[in-house]
Every structure is written in structure tokens, then in C-alpha cells.
Chains A and B, each alone.
Chain A
Amino acid sequence: TQLLEQSPQFLSIQEGENLTVYCNSSSVFSSLQWYRQEPGEGPVLLVTVVTGGEVKKLKRLTFQFGDARKDSSLHITAAQTGDTGLYLCAGERPGNTGKLIFGQGTTLQVKP
């Protein structure tokens, strides 16, 4: 059972465009994280959101945690070629200390 569904799975856009990646679940999470992974490397943590409705910004990236803490989105403004990579969301279930559930990932390609 895939508890975290990411969409879209693949995204190919031109430099300068905006995009949004979604991470959805029917389960509640105590926290949700976003990672970016480049080819041949391990995922790197971008952000953690903890409070329902929370919005965090990291330069051109905006992360939002749903009010019910069941979903999240990642919005990139004016994408650059350096944003290319695999984006993964991961949630921590209440009481499931330390273990994260990962979505299947969104592969983003930003073309010059």
C-alpha cells in the first residue's frame, strides 16, 4: 500500500516556468519532509514542515503542509536548470518514531 502519492511522476519544463508537485495521503503525519536527489547521489533534505497550514520558503521554493496534515505541495517559481532532479516527499506517522514513509518521487527536468 502506497501511503504517500506524489504527482506528477515526471515533469519536463522550460527554464523560467513555474511548477507545483503534490504529495497526498489519507493518513495524518506528524511531520512531512521534502528531499531532492541528483543522479548518483543520496537524497538531501530541503525542508521539514510540522504544523498544519505551515508554509515555508527556501529561495524560489515554497512548501506547504495541508491544514489536516495529510498532504503537502512544493511550488517552484521561475525554474532553473539547476532545479533538475528527483523530488521526494516523506512523512513521519504519529507514534512511528523515527521511521519515514517515502513517496515514489517526481522527476523534474528543466530545459534551458
Chain B
Amino acid sequence: DVKVTQSSRYLVKRTGEKVFLECVQDMDHENMFWYRQDPGLGLRLIYFSYDVKMKEKGDIPEGYSVSREKKERFSLILESASTNQTSMYLCASSLQTGTYGYTFGSGTRLTVV
């Protein structure tokens, strides 16, 4: 069964901490994405990567960075966590074309206190 695995289901971090969210896929997909999901705002794209070491900003990249050193792994980094980054974070992967759909991880519920 194909999978996208996010390292943590729940995280609680303090304001100012550096936070790492890890995502691993086992489908040899080229594309990987990080979204945040907030009530009333839907899914908003933070960053995506279409190849190893390649990245592109999404709609809300401020306060975040990403790393993709290996094809199967895509990390989201909150450089200095703030309370407005409290959210559900979803990782997804897909083939080069989005036509075949995204496979999502189960999400990480991050609370910044």
C-alpha cells in the first residue's frame, strides 16, 4: 500500500523554537508538497518540490523553509515558530503531472504556545 508518512501526528512547541516536520513517501513520486489547513481558509500551499534539491515557493512561504536532499523525503522547517503558525500541516506527493492526484499524509497538528 502506497504511503506518505509524516513523522508526528501532534506537536507542541514554544514560540521561537526551530521546528522540523518530516515527510517520507515510498512511491518514487517526483513532486512533494507542504500545505497548511486552517478552518475557513482551506488548504494553502507553503512550498513544493519537483525534484531533489529543487523547491518553489507556494502561496504562503513566509516563516518557512524546506529541504529535499533525497527524492523520498521532504522536510518543512519553521525557522522561529510563532503562535500564528499553529495549524494542521499536510504533506503530499504526486507524479510529475497532478492529473493522477495527490497522496496525502495523515497530517501533523502543530500547536505553538
Contacts and interface: CB of A to CB of B under 8 A. Distances in A.
B64 interface: no
B12 interface: no
B104 A44 contact: yes
Nearest to A4: B42
Contacts of B107: 40-42
Contacts of B25: none
Given A48-B99, A97-B96, A103-B42, A43 B104 contact: yes
Contact of A104 (B41, B97, B99): B41
B103 interface: yes
Interface residues of B, number: 28
Interface string B37-56: 00011110100101000000
Contacts of B30: 98
Contact of A31 (B9, B92, B99, B104): B99
A98 B43 contact: no
A44 B96 CA distance: 19
B42 A104 contact: yes
A30 B98 CA distance: 10
B27 to A, nearest CB: 13
B33 to A, nearest CB: 8
A14 to B, nearest CB: 25
A92 B102 contact: no
Interface string B4-25: 1000010000000000000000
B42 A92 contact: no
Contact of A102 (B42, B50, B105): B42
Interface of A: 30-31, 33, 35, 40-45, 48, 50, 88, 90, 92, 97-100, 102-105
28 contacts: A31-B98, A31-B99, A33-B102, A40-B9, A40-B106, A40-B107, A40-B109, A42-B4, A42-B92, A43-B102, A43-B104, A44-B104, A45-B101, A45-B102, A48-B99, A48-B101, A88-B42, A90-B102, A92-B98, A98-B30, A98-B50, A98-B96, A99-B48, A102-B42, A103-B42, A104-B40, A104-B42, A105-B42
